């Protein structure tokens, strides 16, 4: 595999990952846990392919940056631009999905805390522990 083929393969994988991240975002918005889990497996496979390509890139190019490939005439500036754009889109979409995931987890934790009893541990005058279970919002008295 030459350098140009390698870059095109990266672009292809980034494109697949972008589509996958869009599907993941929709699944997260719809709270579809089964679909999110299935998409995570697909993401893992693509990440593995990208990792393998990155190892090949290091073998072929050492530490050369994409700008150097353009300067040396190995790839065109259009290809380099597409590569950079796709990589940035993947990064942005992945960050968005991570935020959505964290928000969902925060909501789940909030609901769990509201719906389950909590133990309040205090000390009695005698110095012994007085573990009282406080009620959740559904069985609290007013």
Question: What CATH number matches the domain at 3-118, 2.60.40, 1.20.58, 3.40.50, 1.10.3470?
Answer: 1.20.58
C-alpha span between 37 and 41 (Å, rounded): 7
Predicted local confidence at residue 139, as pLDDT: 54
Max Cα separation, the chain?
83
The more confidently predicted of residues 124 and 121 is 124
What average pLDDT does this structure show over 51-71?
92
The more confidently predicted of residues 20 and 137 is 20
Structure letter (DSSP) for residue 135: P
Would you call 46 exposed, middle or buried from its count of C-beta atoms within 10 A (0-12, 13-18, 19+)? middle
The structure's pTM equals 0.75
Confidence class for position 103, pLDDT limits 50, 70, 90? confident
Q: What is the mean pLDDT of the chain?
A: 86
- Residue 80 clears pLDDT 70, i.e. is over it: yes
Decide: helix, strand or coil at residue 110. Answer: helix
Domain residue spans of the chain: 3-118
Predicted local confidence at residue 129, as pLDDT: 62
- Residue 113 clears pLDDT 90, i.e. is over it: no
- Residue 3 clears pLDDT 70, i.e. is over it: yes
- Residue 138 clears pLDDT 70, i.e. is over it: no
C-alpha span between 92 and 139 (Å, rounded): 44
- Residue 136 clears pLDDT 90, i.e. is over it: no
């Amino acid at each position: 595999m030459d350098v140009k083929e390698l870059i095109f393969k990266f672009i292809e994988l980034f494109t697949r990952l972008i589509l996958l991240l869009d599907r993941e975002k929709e699944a997260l918005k719809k709270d579809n846990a089964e679909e999110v889990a299935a998409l995570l497996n697909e993401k893992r496979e693509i990440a593995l392919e990208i990792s393998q390509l990155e190892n090949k890139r290091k073998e072929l190019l050492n530490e050369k940056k994409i700008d150097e490939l353009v300067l040396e005439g190995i790839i065109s500036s259009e290809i380099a631009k597409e590569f950079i754009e796709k990589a940035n889109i993947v990064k942005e979409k992945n960050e968005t999905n991570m935020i959505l995931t964290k928000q969902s987890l925060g909501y789940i934790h909030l609901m769990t805390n509201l719906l389950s009893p909590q133990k309040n541990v205090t000390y009695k005058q005698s110095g012994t522990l007085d573990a009282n279970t406080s009620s959740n919002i559904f069985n609290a008295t007013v």
